[in-house]
């Protein structure tokens, strides 16, 4: 603390009009430092302590404006570390104290200018007005720094928020406004590959282009995020047009350090009446729309709409409810038979996830599996369902001599999870199910894009003796050579090909030809071929004729609770 106080005193010493002895100076600045330290941690917090320090600084040390600037630098760069404080709260408190100190200092100086007209008249008038001008300049600099981005010089988030809240209070403001938030892609890639200096230059160039968008004020909210504020729109189209313009401007490649950098951007747009909610909320809404634009594949803009937002919120809620639902046992599997097309025997059953939601009723996997994949919850959920399926298989094995294999769907995320094979082995062990009674279904697409861990997982699972089949086969293009290299036991031909068998004319014939070659392909590679989605007896007949091994579909049995499956036995 003493060291900090000494350094502070020294920093402003030559800007001081009054002559203090060294001991006086040290004691004075130590007192100020201690008061600031106390104010920083006081409960409740009150910035007025900072104001008083500012007053004393102006009265006692009578420092010139450059001294105030150095004081601000000292406090913002060194005080927290001197006190061993960190964290957002401390930083926010410090900022408030420094602001109050500046206000106390300038107010005192101003009062003194008025009060002490007489004594000041005796002083050198030009020096005084020079000092006042310097004070105003440094005030302006501080204000500018607080409201602008240091890198690009554009107005920052604080300034944008001020403007937005002013829209509501300013009677002369127009009735509507638009805000478009722009996310620039690949800035991080540029930082990583060409260095931060190149990234900074790129951002400055982006700022320059965005400043050219007419009728809008460009702001830089930080990092790769920019905004355009448009005052006086008439409808959402006005704002969307400007967003489009901005994206067009950014689409031309940037030239940085001799590199030509193609940059794409996405934009989220809001347009509303000034009185329609808190205008500052528009930033959040635009951020949401920006997120949608990125989700839609980037390089595009999206306009915020309440309905989509409500859907997002509902999805988010559903996602957040999953862990509780798992604990309450709301997830269960329905089982659908897979039938040998020559003998008619049920050789396997596929477990299909169902969520008995207390308010929304029974939910199909389309409503929640994707959400669980996004949140990562698919890992615990998937293992839970897998264990359920294995226990069910054990029960069937105990009552039926030729018990069916259980087939469980695996999500891409599970396939890439390094601990997958070990966890599957642990479940089999716990339940006591022989590994060949478990089959895992992985979609062809997931396998095609799989790398590293996923391929290792496939081999490890095959090593355990678990069967692996490729689901929805024929929708992606899994190279023949690649398929040969994978430890797979069968393919399940995608439903649309089976549906095509009922079409008359060329499409139907094409689908039948594709099915025929898929069956041959499967057999050549020694794989069993299953057709799913069989709904009509015509489809069933054609599949038998083609030589397909196994069939699954509503005609042969709908997904049903475990207890409904083998009612005959």
Ranges within 304-343 binding ligand C2E (CB under 6 A): 336
* Residue nearer to Ca ion on the CB measure, 409 or 528: 409
Stretch that binds ligand C2E, among 116-124, 159-167, 286-294, 527-535 (CB under 6 A): 527-535
User: Distance between CA 441 and CA 408 in Å, rounded?
Assistant: 6
C-alpha torsion sign, points 136, 137, 139, 140: positive
Residue 353, beta-bridge partner list: 333
Q: Report if residue 349 touches ligand C2E, rule: CB under 6 A.
A: no
Q: Report if residue 531 touches ligand C2E, rule: CB under 6 A.
A: no
Residue 363, H or E segment: strand 361-363
Give the residue carrying structure tokens 């389309």.
366
Per CB under 5 A, residues contacting Ca ion are: 409, 441, 471-472
Looking only at the bridges linking them, the beta strands covering 550-551 and 176-184 are: unpaired
Decide: helix, strand or coil at residue 133. Answer: helix
DSSP, res 487: -
Q: Report if residue 353 touches ligand C2E, rule: CB under 6 A.
A: yes
Q: Shortest Cβ distance from residue 334 to ligand C2E (Å)?
A: 7
* Residue nearer to ligand C2E on the CB measure, 472 or 512: 472
Write out the two tokens for 359.
Answer: 């308010």
Determine contact, residues 312/295, Cβ cutoff 8 Å: no
Q: Report if residue 548 touches ligand C2E, rule: CB under 6 A.
A: no
Q: Report if residue 392 touches ligand C2E, rule: CB under 6 A.
A: no
Residue 490, beta-bridge partner list: 469, 528
Q: Report if residue 472 touches ligand C2E, rule: CB under 6 A.
A: yes
Binding residues for ligand C2E, total number by CB under 6 A: 22
Helices 88-115 and 125-147 cross at an angle (nearest 10°) of 160
Looking only at the bridges linking them, the beta strands covering 265-273 and 301-303 are: parallel
What is the largest distance, in Å, between two alpha-carbon atoms of the chain? Answer: 116
Give the residue carrying structure tokens 């699972």.
461
* Residue nearer to Ca ion on the CB measure, 321 or 472: 472
Stretch that binds ligand C2E, among 12-20, 131-139, 199-207, 533-541 (CB under 6 A): 533-541
The CA-atom distances, in angstroms, between 535 and each of 210, 397, 486, 504, 531 are 57, 29, 31, 16, 11
Ranges within 401-420 binding ligand C2E (CB under 6 A): 409-411
Stretch that binds ligand C2E, among 160-168, 415-423, 508-516, 526-534 (CB under 6 A): 526-534
Of residues 334, 389, 342, the one with CA closest to residue 529: 342
* Residue nearer to ligand C2E on the CB measure, 224 or 532: 532
Q: Report if residue 559 touches ligand C2E, rule: CB under 6 A.
A: yes
Q: Report if residue 447 touches ligand C2E, rule: CB under 6 A.
A: no
Residue 370 contact, options Ca ion, ligand C2E, none, Cβ 5-8 Å cut-off depending on partner type? none
- What is the DSSP secondary-structure string of 347-362? EEEEEEEEEEETTTEE
Q: Where are the alpha helices (DSSP H) in 432-535?
A: 444-448, 453-464, 480-485, 495-500, 506-524
User: Distance between CA 326 and CA 375 in Å, rounded?
Assistant: 14
* Residue nearer to ligand C2E on the CB measure, 290 or 332: 332
Instruction: Let me know the angle formed at the C-alpha of 133 by 130 and 138, rounded to the nearest 5 degrees.
Output: 125
Q: Shortest Cβ distance from residue 523 to ligand C2E (Å)?
A: 22
Q: Which of 352, 420, 462, 515 binds ligand C2E (CB under 6 A)?
A: 352
Ranges within 417-446 binding ligand C2E (CB under 6 A): 441
Q: Report if residue 369 touches ligand C2E, rule: CB under 6 A.
A: yes
* Residue nearer to ligand C2E on the CB measure, 33 or 407: 407
Q: Report if residue 551 touches ligand C2E, rule: CB under 6 A.
A: no
Looking only at the bridges linking them, the beta strands covering 346-357 and 405-409 are: parallel
Q: Shortest Cβ distance from residue 141 to ligand C2E (Å)?
A: 58
Q: Which of 258, 324, 358, 366 binds ligand C2E (CB under 6 A)?
A: 366
Q: Which of 287, 322, 385, 433 binds ligand C2E (CB under 6 A)?
A: 385
Q: Shortest Cβ distance from residue 465 to ligand C2E (Å)?
A: 21
Q: Report if residue 108 touches ligand C2E, rule: CB under 6 A.
A: no
Write out the two tokens for 105.
Answer: 């200092």
Which residues are near ligand C2E by CB under 6 A? Answer: 336, 352-353, 364-366, 369, 382, 385, 409-411, 441, 471-472, 532-535, 553-554, 559
């Amino acid at each position: 603390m003493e060291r900090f106080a000494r350094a502070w005193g020294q920093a402003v010493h030559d800007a001081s009009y009054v002559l203090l002895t060294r001991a006086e100076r040290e004691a004075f600045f130590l007192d100020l430092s201690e008061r600031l330290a106390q104010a920083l941690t006081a409960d409740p917090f009150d910035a007025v302590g900072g104001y008083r320090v500012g007053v004393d600084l102006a009265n006692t040390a009578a420092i010139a404006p450059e001294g105030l600037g150095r004081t601000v630098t000292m406090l913002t760069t060194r005080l927290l570390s001197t006190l061993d404080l960190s964290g957002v709260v401390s930083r926010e408190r410090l900022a408030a104290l420094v602001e109050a100190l500046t206000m106390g200092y300038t107010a005192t100086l101003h009062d003194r200018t008025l009060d002490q007209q007489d004594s000041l008249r005796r002083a050198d008038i030009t020096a005084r007005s020079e000092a006042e001008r310097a004070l105003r300049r440094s005030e302006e600099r501080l204000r500018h720094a607080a409201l602008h981005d240091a890198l690009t010089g554009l107005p920052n988030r604080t300034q944008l928020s001020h403007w937005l809240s002013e829209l509501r209070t300013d009677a002369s403001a127009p009735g509507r406004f638009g805000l478009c938030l722009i996310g620039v892609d690949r800035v991080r890639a540029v930082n990583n590959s060409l260095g931060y200096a190149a990234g900074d230059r790129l951002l400055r160039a982006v700022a320059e282009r965005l400043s050219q968008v007419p009728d809008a004020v460009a702001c830089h909210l930080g990092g790769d995020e920019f905004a355009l504020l448009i005052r006086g729109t008439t409808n959402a189209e006005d704002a969307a047009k400007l967003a489009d313009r901005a994206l067009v401007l950014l689409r031309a490649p940037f030239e940085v350090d001799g590199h030509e950098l193609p940059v794409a951007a996405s934009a989220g747009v809001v347009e509303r009446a000034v009185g329609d909610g808190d205008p500052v909320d528009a930033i959040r809404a635009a951020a949401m729309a920006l997120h949608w634009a990125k989700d839609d594949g980037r390089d595009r803009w999206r306009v915020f709409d309440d309905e989509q937002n409500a859907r997002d919120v509902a999805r988010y809620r559903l996602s957040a409810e999953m862990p509780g639902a798992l604990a309450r046992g709301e997830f269960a599997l329905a089982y659908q038979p897979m039938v040998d097309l020559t003998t008619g025997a049920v050789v396997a059953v596929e477990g299909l996830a169902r969520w008995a939601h207390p308010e929304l009723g029974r939910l199909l996997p389309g409503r929640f599996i994707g959400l669980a994949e996004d949140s990562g919850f698919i890992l615990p959920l998937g293992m839970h369902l897998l264990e359920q399926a294995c226990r069910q298989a054990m029960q069937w094995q105990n009552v039926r001599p030729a018990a069916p294999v259980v087939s469980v769907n695996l999500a891409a995320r599970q396939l890439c999870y390094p601990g997958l094979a070990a966890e599957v082995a642990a479940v089999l062990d716990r339940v006591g199910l022989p590994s060949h009674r478990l089959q895992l279904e992985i979609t062809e697409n997931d396998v095609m894009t799989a790398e590293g861990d996923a391929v290792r997982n496939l081999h490890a699972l095959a090593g355990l003796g678990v069967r692996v089949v490729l689901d929805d086969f024929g929708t992606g293009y899994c190279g023949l050579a690649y398929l040969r290299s994978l430890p797979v036991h069968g393919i399940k031909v995608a439903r649309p090909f089976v549906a095509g068998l009922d079409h008359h004319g060329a499409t139907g014939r094409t689908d039948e030809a594709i099915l025929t070659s898929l069956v041959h392909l499967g057999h050549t590679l020694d794989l069993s071929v299953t057709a799913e989605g069989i709904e009509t007896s015509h489809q069933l007949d054609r599949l038998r004729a083609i030589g397909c091994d196994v069939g699954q579909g509503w005609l042969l049995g709908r997904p049903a609770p475990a207890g409904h499956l083998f009612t005959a036995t």
